[in-house]
Chain A
Amino acid sequence: MSKVLIELNQITKAFDGEIVVNNLNLQVYENEFLTILGPSGCGKTTTLRMIAGFVKPDAGEVIINDKVVNDLAPYARPVNTVFQRYALFPHLNVIKNISFGLDKINKFTLHKMLKDAVKDEANRALKLVKLENFATKKISYLSGGQMQRVALARALINRPQILLLDEPMAALDLKLRQDMQYELKEMQRKLGITFIFITHDQEEAMTMSDRIVVMNKGIIQQLGTPKDIYNEPVNRFVANFIGESNIVRGIYTNDKEVTFLGETFACEAYPFRIGEAVDVVIRPEDFDVVNADKAKIVAKVTSCIFKGVHYEICANINDLELVIHTYEEILVDNLIGLNVDPYEIHLMKVEEDE
């Protein structure tokens, strides 16, 4: 990968004695689309606010462009933010909102810019987000999607090196959200800006990111490409948070061999000791449903729900419930056989606290 742009070095932050971010280390590269994914209260927003400069870390350093910026005011950082509920200025119209950054920089600082240039720049930003006809509209007359575009244009006008997006899609409906995901990704590619995107929606994270950081309880659980995180979750939390999964306890009985649900299956090689207990992860869509006599695992169907593209089947085996996705409907109380290919079986280390 290319140059490191942001580095979070052993960052810790607590509010009222409650640790929100715990000894966090993270490197963000130039031109990367990085997503911080996690449930609410996992510390992702606090991490973002420390990069933007609204919150000072209790310990550790925020490093941007190889310089420690802990004491640098938010307005001096080469970072701009798209806020969760957009935070548009209600007393200004669309174009005034967008050119806010340039107007303010103009007055006090070294970057001098002509009025016409500001106008041109604002219009260009407006065009970028496809809101040319809305320049003089009041903020209160805009829809959620339009407000989001204004917030985006406003943040981009200062040409930041880094754009922070704090759950910008949370308030949009599904269809709009999907369109916006695509547009954002395109924009990031075109502008060559580093995006740090925060969300609790794993699908959104999968679609857009180059890399994903999964956070929980102020700690990074896993860092990797969307594919890695989906296929090789490192622990129960990640496996459960990213997509649906069946997790059953098993034993690594031999090299490339694992036993669970009372049967032995072939799997890929893992660095476990022979005889070590492991967690076995199988995604619902990775089961092959066959006749009951043609498989090692036989389960009884307890429910079958049509989900549009597929059916979601719940099946019981030894009081354990498995979730399976198939394209065919299977009636309740039928017995089904389940096969799994060796490369679809993912093994995880058993966590101590369980």
Chain B
Amino acid sequence: MNKRFRKMAIPYLIWLYLLALVPTFFMVVLIFLDMEGLDTDNIRFTFDNFLQLKEVSTLIALLNSFKYAFISTVICIILGYISAYVLYKSHIRNKFLVLTILILPMWSNLLLRTQALANIMEPHNIITDLLGIKVNENMSLAGSGIAVVIGLVFTYLPFMILPIYTALEKVEPMLEEASLDLGANEFQTFFHVTLPLSFKGVVTGSVMVFLPCMSGFAIPEILGKGNIVMIGNIIEQFFKNMNYNIGSLLAIVILILILVSIAIVNKFDREGETIR
């Protein structure tokens, strides 16, 4: 009798094929074509698009993406793990409250938050005005790599804390007690029991921070002020200029990186416990 309900899931599978898989194949096809926008008049088959991968600007953007995403992820891991651990140990067993504190900032518009950060990185800003301090013009962070890293860390830190906190919550306190009981002190217990058992939270968090850091274009644009170009900016430019072929190529490069990351997460977290 319950089989009647099965029919309700089939349209969704079709929807996913249509909106998730078909465009990917479409993009793969576009890589080998040369045309203007999606105009089919002057279409021609070519491998020239791959030459874009050798361009210095592309390579710098890729390198920047990796560099800033990696640095931000590492900072997020350190700050995120420590704060998740403190929250977990603080006997605030009210997970809802923790979630509230972490999720609330996300209700504020990402671009506005980024713009606000960009503003206070200028030597003259609202805080220096309110406090009446004068800052040396040369101390400005605006438009620097550090500004981009700060923006990325401030924005994506909750995505690191949440999975780590979830993973820590699943570590049975009894296991830590067992370790203490067997003669390991608190530090040995942390490094040999708690950390390995919550590591999948770190892996999930790293992916959830690394990927958007690497592929985003708004934060580097607003905080980097055009000095820092990342791969997302280049893709955006190509699509804006109706060059869908090279744009698709770079998007596929990101897609491959994502697939690799998902494979890594799957290796550590088979049950998918820490992804939401």
Direct contact of A and B (CB under 8 A): yes
Residues of chain A at the chain B interface (Cβ within 8 Å): 52-54, 73-75, 79-81, 83-85, 87-91, 100-101, 104-105, 107-109, 154-155, 158
Cβ-defined partner of B197 (8 Å) among A84, A90, A104, A108: A90
Q: Please measure, in the bound complex, the distance between the C-alpha atom of A100 and the C-alpha atom of B181, giving whole angstroms.
A: 11
Q: How far is the CB of A108 from chain B (nearest CB, A)?
A: 7
From known contacts A107-B188, A108-B185, A108-B188, infer whether A85 and B174 are also in contact, taking CB-CB under 8 Å: yes
Enumerate B156-180 residues with CB–CB distance to A below 8 Å: 172, 174-175, 177-180
Closest residue of chain A to B177 (Cβ to Cβ) is A54
Q: Are A104 and B184 in contact (CB under 8 A)?
A: yes
Q: Please measure, in the bound complex, the distance between the C-alpha atom of A84 and the C-alpha atom of B175, giving whole angstroms.
A: 11
CB-CB under 8 A from B172, the residues of chain A are: 87
B212 at interface by CB-CB < 8 Å: no
What are 13 sample pairs from A and B whose C-beta atoms fall under 8 A apart? A74-B181, A75-B180, A81-B178, A83-B177, A87-B174, A90-B197, A91-B197, A104-B184, A104-B185, A108-B188, A154-B182, A158-B182, A158-B183
Q: Please measure, in the bound complex, the distance between the C-alpha atom of A59 and the C-alpha atom of B184, giving whole angstroms.
A: 27
B258 at interface by CB-CB < 8 Å: no
From known contacts A90-B197, A91-B196, A91-B197, infer whether A104 and B182 are also in contact, taking CB-CB under 8 Å: yes
CB-CB under 8 A from A109, the residues of chain B are: 183
Task: Output the residue of B174, B177, B183, B196 with the most chain A CB within 10 A.
Answer: B183
From known contacts A83-B174, A87-B174, A89-B175, infer whether A74 and B197 are also in contact, taking CB-CB under 8 Å: no
Q: Please measure, in the bound complex, the distance between the C-alpha atom of A109 and the C-alpha atom of B183, giving whole angstroms.
A: 10
CB-CB under 8 A from A107, the residues of chain B are: 188
Closest residue of chain A to B180 (Cβ to Cβ) is A74
B192 at interface by CB-CB < 8 Å: yes
- Interface size bracket, B side: 10 to 19
Q: Please measure, in the bound complex, the distance between the C-alpha atom of A157 and the C-alpha atom of B275, giving whole angstroms.
A: 38
CB-CB under 8 A from A83, the residues of chain B are: 174, 177-178
From known contacts A107-B188, A108-B188, infer whether A75 and B174 are also in contact, taking CB-CB under 8 Å: no
CB-CB under 8 A from A74, the residues of chain B are: 177, 180-181
From known contacts A91-B197, A104-B192, infer whether A79 and B181 are also in contact, taking CB-CB under 8 Å: yes
A-B pair count, CB < 8 Å, reads 69
Interface SS of B by simple majority: helix
Q: Are B184 and A75 in contact (CB under 8 A)?
A: yes
CB-CB under 8 A from A155, the residues of chain B are: 181-182
Interface SS of A by simple majority: mixed
Q: Are A100 and B184 in contact (CB under 8 A)?
A: yes
B252 at interface by CB-CB < 8 Å: no
Q: How far is the CB of B91 from chain A (nearest CB, A)?
A: 12
Task: Output the residue of A90, A100, A154, A155 with the most chain B CB within 10 A.
Answer: A100
From known contacts A75-B184, A107-B188, infer whether A100 and B179 are also in contact, taking CB-CB under 8 Å: yes
B193 at interface by CB-CB < 8 Å: yes
Q: How far is the CB of A276 from chain B (nearest CB, A)?
A: 49
Enumerate B184-234 residues with CB–CB distance to A below 8 Å: 184-186, 188, 192-193, 196-197
Q: Please measure, in the bound complex, the distance between the C-alpha atom of A81 and the C-alpha atom of B192, giving whole angstroms.
A: 19
Q: Are B174 and A73 in contact (CB under 8 A)?
A: no
Q: Are B181 and A80 in contact (CB under 8 A)?
A: yes
Q: Are A101 and B183 in contact (CB under 8 A)?
A: yes
Cβ-defined partner of B185 (8 Å) among A73, A84, A154: A73
Known: A75-B185, A89-B193. 20 other contacts (CB 8 A): A52-B181, A53-B181, A73-B180, A74-B180, A75-B182, A75-B183, A79-B181, A81-B177, A81-B181, A83-B177, A84-B174, A87-B178, A90-B175, A90-B197, A100-B182, A100-B192, A104-B185, A104-B188, A158-B182, A158-B183
Task: Output the residue of A79, A80, A88, A89 with the most chain B CB within 10 A.
Answer: A89
CB-CB under 8 A from A73, the residues of chain B are: 180, 185-186
Q: Are B183 and A105 in contact (CB under 8 A)?
A: yes
Q: Please measure, in the bound complex, the distance between the C-alpha atom of A87 and the C-alpha atom of B171, giving whole angstroms.
A: 11
Q: How far is the CB of A110 from chain B (nearest CB, A)?
A: 12
Q: Please measure, in the bound complex, the distance between the C-alpha atom of A237 and the C-alpha atom of B197, giving whole angstroms.
A: 44
Q: How far is the CB of B181 from chain A (nearest CB, A)?
A: 5
Q: How far is the CB of B101 from chain A (nearest CB, A)?
A: 25
Closest residue of chain B to A98 (Cβ to Cβ) is B182
Q: How far is the CB of A303 from chain B (nearest CB, A)?
A: 42
CB-CB under 8 A from A75, the residues of chain B are: 180-185
CB-CB under 8 A from A54, the residues of chain B are: 177, 180-181
Q: Are A104 and B178 in contact (CB under 8 A)?
A: no
CB-CB under 8 A from B193, the residues of chain A are: 89
Q: Please measure, in the bound complex, the distance between the C-alpha atom of A107 and the C-alpha atom of B192, giving whole angstroms.
A: 12
